[in-house]
Amino acid sequence: MRKKLLSALLSVAMVASLLVGCGNGASETEAPAADTETEAPADDEGSASGGGQLIGVSMPTKDLQRWNQDGENMKAELEAAGYTVDLQFASNDIPTQVSQIENMIAGGCELLVIASIDGDSLGTVLEQAKEKDIDVIAYDRLIMNSDAVTYYATFDNYLVGQKQGEFIVEQLDLDNAAGPFNMEIVTGDPGDNNVNFFYGGAMDVLQPYIDEGKLVVKSGQVEKADVATANWATDAAQSRFEAIISSYYSDGTNLDVVLASNDSTALGVVNALEANYTGEWPIVTGQDCDVANVKNIIAGKQSMSIFKDTRTLASKVVEMVDAIMKGEEIAGLDTETYDNGTGVIPSYLCEPVFADVNNYKELLIDSGYYSEGDLQ
């Protein structure tokens, strides 16, 4: 961690010129495919602790609901804390994300918060950040093989997978029922380091039942590479699943359960089932509590999801930003679990929460995350 206090003081006087340099001009012209937002904080931030320094926030895409929420939450919280924010979405395109980050660095951002598209693709651009003494917080997804990363803030992703696996064990009563039960597996983008934890956490629970023959994967597609979904895209999950249904489940064979790592892939699975499957409706897992998926949970088409309250993650990251800027230490970080190839990155893990038809109202509506109307 580096001292940022002096640069914080200097920056107050530079906000206006930074605003011009970072965000508006550079990123809009050089990365036209992506969305970009830069705004100065409101003048009357009584409790703000930041001195208007420019923080770059790089999100992977606007295509998935959660990144819009993450980006907007981060922006709002950072601005409320007195920072200026250059928020960019990279349309799930790695070169776009790299060039947006380059522009943030060139434009005077003093700290970068990055949810990477591909954890392994940012090493080179982040060398520039390191040279300029710009700290980097890896947001939700760990950035691999770069020693420019100061902190990592995420949810406990292994626990996400574990909860999905345990739900399946419970629902099928795998410890007592004779089975066998048919299961298929859909996970996410192979370049997203989180996939190792989602898939790994779930498979650590389920593999013994597969070995025992109680869970049968008729497609034979079990390895991570075979069950991955590029960019976590709903369409890609749907077409792979349509092929699975037509090859293995179109003759009256029941599919009992689909382990889907997140909601965008679960949506693809449900679309494929609705269009092509005539057997008994399977258990379908998910993660994120996206609006479309909560609606499917209410309609009985998806069995569970995992609620990752992006407001909590955003607040934690703002705390990290503040601590870095003030040269303070952050207490209570996990300093053992997340090695990005250059060493362990001190990490903060938010808790993922199981969600289903029985508790979604309390979790999502009572907490103000969604309104009743959002889910109708």
DSSP notation for 291-345: HHHHHHHHTTS---EEE--HHHHHHHHHHHHHHHHHT----S-B-SS-B-SSSBP
Nearest approach in angstroms of CB 169 to ligand BGC is 22
Asked if 197 is part of the footprint of ligand BGC (rule: CB under 6 A), the reply reads no
Q: Report the residue from 110, 242, 288, 322 that binds ligand BGC according to the rule CB under 6 A.
A: 288
Lookup: tokens for 72: 């907007």
- Complex with ligand BGC: residue 141 or 240, whichever CB lies closer: 141
Asked if 156 is part of the footprint of ligand BGC (rule: CB under 6 A), the reply reads no
Nearest approach in angstroms of CB 41 to ligand BGC is 28
Asked if 194 is part of the footprint of ligand BGC (rule: CB under 6 A), the reply reads yes
Instruction: Reply yes or no: is the peptide bond before residue 60 cis, omega within 30 of 0.
Output: no
Calpha distance 156→115 (Å, rounded) = 15
Tokens 């320094």, located at residue: 53
Contact 145, 58 (CB under 8 A): no
Nearest approach in angstroms of CB 207 to ligand BGC is 22
Residues 6+ apart with CB under 8 A from 76: 314
Helices 123-131 and 94-106 cross at an angle (nearest 10°) of 10
Asked if 141 is part of the footprint of ligand BGC (rule: CB under 6 A), the reply reads yes
Residues in contact with ligand BGC, counted by CB under 6 A, come to a total of 13
Nearest approach in angstroms of CB 192 to ligand BGC is 5
Asked if 192 is part of the footprint of ligand BGC (rule: CB under 6 A), the reply reads yes
Dihedral, 189, 195, 199, 200 alpha carbons, nearest 10: 150
Nearest approach in angstroms of CB 211 to ligand BGC is 28
Asked if 302 is part of the footprint of ligand BGC (rule: CB under 6 A), the reply reads no
Asked if 262 is part of the footprint of ligand BGC (rule: CB under 6 A), the reply reads yes
- Complex with ligand BGC: residue 66 or 316, whichever CB lies closer: 66
Nearest approach in angstroms of CB 338 to ligand BGC is 13
Nearest residue to 82 via CA among 12, 17, 24, 6:
12
Nearest approach in angstroms of CB 247 to ligand BGC is 27
Residues 6+ apart with CB under 8 A from 219: 184, 244, 247, 248
Asked if 287 is part of the footprint of ligand BGC (rule: CB under 6 A), the reply reads yes
Residue in the shown chain whose Cβ atom is closest to ligand BGC:
262
58-88 burial string, b = 16+ CB within 10 Å, else e?
bbbbeebbbbbbbbbbbbebbbbbbbbbbbb
Asked if 232 is part of the footprint of ligand BGC (rule: CB under 6 A), the reply reads yes
Count helices and strands in the chain by DSSP H and E runs: 13, 13
Asked if 309 is part of the footprint of ligand BGC (rule: CB under 6 A), the reply reads no
Asked if 75 is part of the footprint of ligand BGC (rule: CB under 6 A), the reply reads no
Asked if 188 is part of the footprint of ligand BGC (rule: CB under 6 A), the reply reads yes
Q: How many CA atoms lie within 13 A of 95 on its CB side?
A: 4
Nearest approach in angstroms of CB 233 to ligand BGC is 9
Residues forming the site for ligand BGC (CB under 6 A): 64, 66, 140-141, 188, 192, 194, 232, 262, 264, 287-288, 308
